[in-house]
Amino acid sequence: MAQTGEPNPPRWSAEESFLELLRDTLELMDRGSRGQFLQRFFRAMAQIDVTETQGLDLWEQAQARRRDLSESIGKRVALQAALVDVLASTGQLRLPVLMEYEDLRKLQINAATDPLTGLYNRRFFDDYFEKELNRSIRYTHKLALVVFDLHRFKEVNDRFGHPQGDALLQMAAVTLRKSLRTSDYAFRIGGDEFALLLPQSDTEQAATLARRLRAAYASSIEPLNLGVPLALDYGLAVYPEDGELQEVLIRVADERLYQLKNGTRVADRAPAPGPAPRPAAPEPKQAAPESKPVAAEQKQPEPKPEVAEEKPKAAAPAPTVTPPAVAAAPARAPEAKKVTAEQRRWERVSLASTHAYALVGEGVELTARVLDLGYGGVALETSRPEDFGEAFHAVLHVPILPPVRVSLRRVYTMQEGSSSRIGCSFVI
């Protein structure tokens, strides 16, 4: 049945139906992608070269011309007619050609993808990240961002040339693409920089995937015998734990990527493994968890801070209380909370102001912040202390070291506001 005010609804031609579909598609794209698409569209359709801004202006003029013509004649004018009218009036219509569907599809792909790797490009990353973050906020879902780059990639380019470097970038893209779920997206956001967006993924899931990708890439390039320790370094951030803004999540992920990269470089220059010397003063680079544990971790110096090696047997973890006194100390007294001049056997390196964290457990892992680190142990912060056992394994991610797997024994648990501090000693 005809609509009121439009007694004879038009029956669009195939060409006009195509333009209507194109109009609807462009409405879903951000302005930058729309301008890039229209620049190529006008070149293919009318053999005219315009900038992205000019392409947007021409398209908007066609929409306005269509509305004006429709009002003046009292019926809906085809978009094709309005578009031809605009191009003719500006003296730019020389070869009116309507693109085939495959040509249109190629333009859509080129506007959103990186030509070398076939992954989505930086422009699409910015747009899609914003949409996924808004969706996660609306439905209270987690969203994980993982950023990657190729460690020592410049050295490969300098030694073997850019064709070899391009091949390695393509191999990295293939590695990322093979491991993704249908809901995940992979992007090339810079020269040797990549990113993954993982909707409804938490820190443990994102970290597990990142480690698997790193190992898979190492295996794929091993037959090349490059002689350069090329690696797929990564850093991750998760909404809402690490931030609620796009720029904050990107910054946190970049910082963690730098931490891993910095630790890897230190390891590359390190001598053959051997017993680490004990420092005379606090040195972040010597805070190695592999050293033999002797003292249990504590937050503040107690009246008698030195702990014998049998200390873990005597110290039963107690939630929401101050750290337990050593076995030989007298009963707890109010003055025990005061800081004394006596120092720990080994000083601690505070990491509270960094993004240091620990992945805890086997299989399904927990995540905790690393507050400080020393030869004797480590202090973790978590809102779920009940999930931590008396003894457990963890992978420490700190700015001064590559990821290190350690065995820990819980010495005490202390409530601090809405979170808990867990003091742990290293176990061989």
| Whether 262 and 333 share a structural domain | no
Q: Nearest CA to 253 among 205, 175, 200, 194?
A: 194
| Whether 131 and 246 share a structural domain | yes
What's the pLDDT score for residue 95?
47
Those residues whose C-beta lies under 8 Å from the C-beta of residue 143, and which sit 6 or more positions away, are 132, 133, 136, 197, 198, 199, 200, 201, 238, 239
Over 50: is that where the pLDDT of 39 sits?
yes
Over 60: is that where the pLDDT of 333 sits?
no
Q: Which of these three, 60, 88, 112, is where a domain ends?
A: 112
Over 60: is that where the pLDDT of 251 sits?
yes
- Considering Cα of 186, then 400, then 403, then 158, what sign does the dihedral take? positive
What's the pLDDT score for residue 256?
93
Those residues whose C-beta lies under 8 Å from the C-beta of residue 285, and which sit 6 or more positions away, are 266, 400
73 against 152, higher pLDDT? 152
Over 60: is that where the pLDDT of 298 sits?
no
Total domain count, the chain: 3
User: Whole-number mean pLDDT of the chain?
Assistant: 75
SS3 assignment, position 353: coil
Q: Which of these ranges, 39-43, 52-56, 270-274, 422-426, has the smallest mean pLDDT?
A: 270-274
Residue 278 lies in a domain: no
Residue 345 lies in a domain: yes
- The DSSP H or E segment spanning 381 is strand 377-382
pLDDT winner (highest mean) among 46-50, 60-64, 71-75:
60-64
| Whether 306 and 200 share a structural domain | no
Over 90: is that where the pLDDT of 317 sits?
no
Tell me the CATH number at 240. 3.30.70.270
What's the pLDDT score for residue 76?
79
Residue 347 lies in a domain: yes
Those residues whose C-beta lies under 8 Å from the C-beta of residue 407, and which sit 6 or more positions away, are 391, 392, 393, 426, 427, 428
Query: For a pLDDT cut of 90, what percent of the chain falls above it?
Result: 32
Residue 168 lies in a domain: yes
| Whether 192 and 86 share a structural domain | no
| Whether 127 and 263 share a structural domain | yes
SS3 assignment, position 320: coil
Which residue range forms the structural domain that includes residue 66?
14-112
Confidence of residue 322 (pLDDT cuts 50, 70, 90): very low
Over 90: is that where the pLDDT of 280 sits?
no
Q: Which of these ranges, 70-74, 207-211, 417-421, has the smallest mean pLDDT?
A: 70-74
Those residues whose C-beta lies under 8 Å from the C-beta of residue 330, and which sit 6 or more positions away, are none
The total of other beta-carbon atoms located within 10 Å of residue 357's CB is 25
What's the pLDDT score for residue 235?
95
Report residue 137: phi and psi, to 5°. -65, -40
Over 50: is that where the pLDDT of 295 sits?
no
Over 80: is that where the pLDDT of 58 sits?
yes
What's the pLDDT score for residue 195?
96
| Whether 290 and 366 share a structural domain | yes
CA distance 75 to 424: 78
CA distance 77 to 80: 8
356 against 207, higher pLDDT? 207
320 against 210, higher pLDDT? 210
289 against 90, higher pLDDT? 90
| Whether 250 and 298 share a structural domain | no
Strand-pair category, 404-416 with 366-373: unpaired
| Whether 38 and 83 share a structural domain | yes
| Whether 293 and 416 share a structural domain | yes
Q: Nearest CA to 370 among 388, 352, 384?
A: 352
What's the pLDDT score for residue 282?
45
Over 80: is that where the pLDDT of 212 sits?
yes
- The DSSP H or E segment spanning 232 is strand 231-239
What's the pLDDT score for residue 232?
92
Q: Which of these three, 88, 112, 136, is where a domain ends?
A: 112
Those residues whose C-beta lies under 8 Å from the C-beta of residue 74, and which sit 6 or more positions away, are none
Integer CA distances (angstroms), 284 to 332, 372, 401, in order: 33, 10, 9
What's the pLDDT score for residue 105?
55
Residue 276 lies in a domain: no
Both structure tokens of 98? 């309507």
Tokens 């506007």 label which residue? Answer: 111
Over 90: is that where the pLDDT of 341 sits?
no
| Whether 138 and 250 share a structural domain | yes
301 against 149, higher pLDDT? 149
The total of other beta-carbon atoms located within 10 Å of residue 333's CB is 11
162 against 94, higher pLDDT? 162
Residue 360 lies in a domain: yes
196 against 329, higher pLDDT? 196
Residue 2 lies in a domain: no
Q: Which of these ranges, 25-34, 303-312, 365-374, has the smallest mean pLDDT?
A: 303-312
Over 70: is that where the pLDDT of 163 sits?
yes
Confidence of residue 15 (pLDDT cuts 50, 70, 90): low
* Paired strand residues for 204: none
| Whether 314 and 394 share a structural domain | yes
Over 50: is that where the pLDDT of 130 sits?
yes
| Whether 293 and 410 share a structural domain | yes
Over 80: is that where the pLDDT of 301 sits?
no
Q: Which of these three, 267, 297, 330, is where a domain ends?
A: 267
CB 94 within 8 A of CB 85: no
The total of other beta-carbon atoms located within 10 Å of residue 146's CB is 26
Both structure tokens of 380? 């973790």
401 against 327, higher pLDDT? 401
Q: Which of these ranges, 92-96, 110-114, 410-414, has the smallest mean pLDDT?
A: 92-96
What's the pLDDT score for residue 69?
77
CA distance 416 to 323: 12
What's the pLDDT score for residue 253?
95
- The DSSP H or E segment spanning 415 is strand 404-416
* Mean pLDDT calculated for residue range 347-363: 77
CA distance 19 to 281: 72
Q: Residues, the chain, total?
A: 428
Residue 280 lies in a domain: no
Tell me the CATH number at 408. 2.40.10
Tokens 């609509």 label which residue? Answer: 3
Confidence of residue 72 (pLDDT cuts 50, 70, 90): low
Q: Is the pTM value of this prediction over 0.85?
A: no
